[in-house]
Amino acid sequence: MALSEMHAEAVAGIVDRVATRYKRDPVNMLQILREVQEACDWLPPEAIDRLQTVLGVPRTKIEGVAGFYSFLYTEPRGKYRILFSDNIIDRMAGSQPLIERLCENLWIEPGKTSEDGLVSVDVTSCTGMCDQGPALLVNNRAITRLTATRIDEIAELVRNKTPLSEWPADFFKVEDHVRMADIMLGSTMQPGDGLRAARERTPSDGYMASNMRSWREGLPSGISGPSAMLDEIKRANLRGRGGAGFATGLKWEACRNAQMKPGQQRFVVCNADEGEPGTFKDRVLLTAHADLVFEGMTVAAYTIGARRGFLYLRGEYHYLLEPLNAILERRRKENMLGNDILGIPGADFEIEIHLGAGAYVCGEESALIESLEGKRGTPRNRPPFPVTNGYLDQPTIVNNVETFAAAALIALNGGDWYAAIGTKHSAGTKILSVSGDCERPGVYEYPFGVSIRQVLEDCGAKDTQAVQVSGPSGICVGVDEFDRTIGFEDIPTAGAFMMFDQTRDMFEVARNFVHFFQHESCGFCTPCRVGTSLLKNLMDKLHNGHGSPYDFAEIEKLNQLLQAMSHCGLGHTACNPVLDTIAKFRPAYDQRMEHDEFKPAFDLDRALSEARQMTRRDDPGAHITGHNVALGEEA
């Protein structure tokens, strides 16, 4: 047999094994592609050939999905695929020289695969390790606390082709860094307590029957048991922690009341995509309090009458898959999942974990559902909303990890208890992912209403110039605003809290965020697909010293267009970091401005840099400046 045939046969064997485990169902395509790649290092054409047959779907569909996700490769990217986290916080911690060092060490260029096919080094969006950066992923395993020494060790391990399983365990250690705990991070709730309490909220008259029917069919309000639980969530005034702050009780109620056709069911989805740069609190919750999260999902299932649930875990947190599955297994054994949960007849609920593959937009709830269905992560047209037409067009609630954890606490302690914590319109606590210029980065849990100044004090931040709250899509807060507070009344947040001291260049912060949005735009709609690239080009133009006030007007226009015309929140917020920093840190922009009017982006001298590199020349004669030619100047 020819070598290529052997290869094709081996690949087909892998595809068959993986696909069979996923019931050969195209709805699991993303999971199948991900696992095939884990075995083959990439997705060779032979794998796609075989998938076409095994899943019975056209090649275009498979390639369309494979082409969407950053962590799926249809071209070889090496046995070791190294991706440095490229958030501004990683950069401030010195990631860039480390990337150069590793590349020099391995004799490769960033973004390219080594000629022997051994290794590639590239960058990726924030991997959620800002409190212990710089960080990288090697074949989707996280390595934190990078130093020059560690980089050299990594280069050595790669050169020696040491299997990842034999790399020092210490490399892969991820710290929780819980610095401030309140009701959630300090919870000692035992698995099952929340569920039992929820069940006991039912008046004794006939709770069995009502629970059974409600769980299976999700009855409209008026039935005790689940509806009693819904009332607690509403009384708690719980609002979503994923950013938008939608009232959780209303969402659950809408799903519970949604009409279903025969054969349909309801779904509970936990959004653990945590893609917003600078956010890592869901990672800590899933590490230290996974039971609280799963319990919250089960309480939700009980309340709305769902039998299946998903945890959509970002690909960057692949290392959490095994421990989380072990916890699910334990909960099954303890009858907290499966059939007749805690002995309640008809109380059936199962949770599956699906992994993402490097796409921030999949945190948007309708894109997340598309991704769960094994498709490209493109946000859907809404209405209809997921509560009526979600997973496989059936009623679905999508909530953030922290929202579910809060729901478990509410089940245990009641809505009034919860509503008394925090402020009037922002009940409960909020976990902040604190990183950047401070002494003690990590997670901090506060009752809502805490001031920026308080957080800065607690984490040991000095000479702070600005705080980016809620990530690139959030807001940039300057010194004169540090008395503002965290909460839906003032500064809402999905959790990120990135600090920049006086030595930092806020223009470069904004530019990093713009690059992030450009990289993560899904490309579905014109304004965001093209607009984020135009914005990136404008920021790069300013960075290269070719800015003019004209460009500010252009940025303002782009912002209006993206806010008005974009299809989803990514496009709506993509200009925020630039507008905020222009408004608050104008000098950072002005110092880049050499011209008062207009300056073209095209730079003749820069355009020649490739030629200079090829000819290895850098003498004055190889440069074109404004002095020796007039072309570079504005026409």
Partner 1 sequence: MSHTFTLDGKTIPFEDGQTIIQAASKAGVFIPHLCYHPEFKPHGSCKLCTVKVNGRQTASCTMRASAGMVVENNTEELNAERRALTQMLFVEGNHFCPSCETSGNCQLQATAYHLGMMSPHYDHFFPSRPVDASHPEVLLDFNRCILCSLCVRASRDVDGKNVFALSGRGIKTHLIVNARSGNLADTNFTLKDKAAQVCPVGVILVKRNGFAVPIGERRYDNVPIGDSLETATEGR
Q: Is 544 in the site for partner 1 (CB under 8 A)?
A: no
Is 359 an interacting residue with respect to ligand SF4 (CB under 6 A)?
no
> CB under 5 to 8 A by kind: which of ligand SF4, ligand FMN, partner 1, none does 70 bind?
partner 1
Residue 545 C-beta: closest distance to ligand FMN, Å: 32
Q: Does 471 sit near ligand FMN (CB under 6 A)?
A: no
Binding of partner 1 by 112 (CB under 8 A):
no
Q: What angle do CA 241, 484, 86 make, to 5 degrees?
A: 55
- Asked if 528 touches ligand SF4 (CB under 6 A), the answer is yes
Question: Is residue 524 involved in binding ligand SF4 (CB under 6 A)?
Answer: yes
Number of C-beta neighbours around residue 392 at 10 A: 13
The site that binds ligand SF4 (CB under 6 A) totals a number of residues, namely 14
Neighbours of 470 (CB within 10 A): 23
The residue within the footprint of ligand SF4, chosen from 143, 189, 499, 568 (CB under 6 A), is 568
Question: Is the four-CA dihedral 50, 51, 56, 62 of positive or negative sign?
Answer: negative
Query: Which of 296, 494, 282, 308 shows the shortest CA–CA distance to 390?
Result: 308
Site string for ligand FMN, 222-261 (x = CB under 6 A): ------------------xxxxx-x---------------
Of the candidate residues 189, 570, 575, 582, the single one contacting ligand SF4 (CB under 6 A): 570
Amino acid at 596: D
143 touching ligand SF4, by CB under 6 A:
no
Query: Which residue, 244 or 420, is less far from ligand FMN as judged by CB?
Result: 244
103, 121 Cβ separation under 8 angstroms: yes
Written as six digits, the tokens of 83 are: 């991706």
Q: How far is CA 158 from CA 38, 99, 105, 109, in A?
A: 17, 15, 10, 15
235 CB-near residues (< 8 Å, 6+ apart): 414, 415, 416, 419
Residue 376 binds partner 1 (CB under 8 A): yes
Q: Which one, of 503, 471, 483, lies nearest residue 92 by Cα?
A: 503
Min dist CB 67 to partner 1, Å, is 3
| Binding at 531: pick from ligand SF4, partner 1, ligand FMN, none (beta carbon under 5-8 Å per type) | partner 1
Closest CB 319 distance from ligand FMN, rounded Å: 18
Q: List the beta bridge partners of residue 180.
A: 444
How far apart, in whole angstroms, are the C-alpha atoms of residue 52 and residue 34?
16
Scan residues 266-295 and list those touching ligand FMN (CB under 6 A). Answer: 271, 273-276
User: Shortest CA distance to 433 belongs to which of 535, 280, 264?
Assistant: 280
Q: Does 425 sit near partner 1 (CB under 8 A)? A: no
User: What residues are paired with 500 via a beta bridge?
Assistant: 466
The entry of ligand SF4, partner 1, ligand FMN, none near residue 167 (CB within 5 to 8 angstroms by kind) is none
The string of DSSP codes covering 379-392 is PPPSSSPHHHH-GG
Residue 601 lies near partner 1 (rule: CB under 8 A): yes
Q: Which of these segments, 31-39, 165-173, 286-294, 375-383, binds partner 1 (CB under 8 A)?
A: 375-383
Write the interaction track for ligand FMN spanning residues 175-194; mark x where CB under 6 A is met and - where it is not. --------------------
10-69 positions binding partner 1, by CB under 8 A? 45, 48-49, 58-61, 63-64, 66-69
Q: For residues 500 and 454, give the distance between their C-alpha atoms in angstroms, rounded to a whole number.
A: 16
Helices marked H in 113-219: 148-159, 193-200, 207-217
For residue 244, which amino acid is it? A
Q: Which of 194, 442, 527, 577 binds partner 1 (CB under 8 A)?
A: 527
Q: Which residue has the tokens 């959790």?
A: 495
Residue labelled with tokens 């307590």: 193
Which residue, 429 or 566, is less far from partner 1 as judged by CB?
Answer: 566
β-partners of residue 499 are 436, 467
Q: What residues line the site for partner 1 (CB under 8 A)? A: 45, 48-49, 58-61, 63-64, 66-70, 359, 376, 381, 383, 518-527, 529-534, 537, 557, 560-561, 564-567, 601-602
Q: What residues line the site for ligand SF4 (CB under 6 A)? A: 361, 379, 521-525, 528-529, 566-568, 570-571
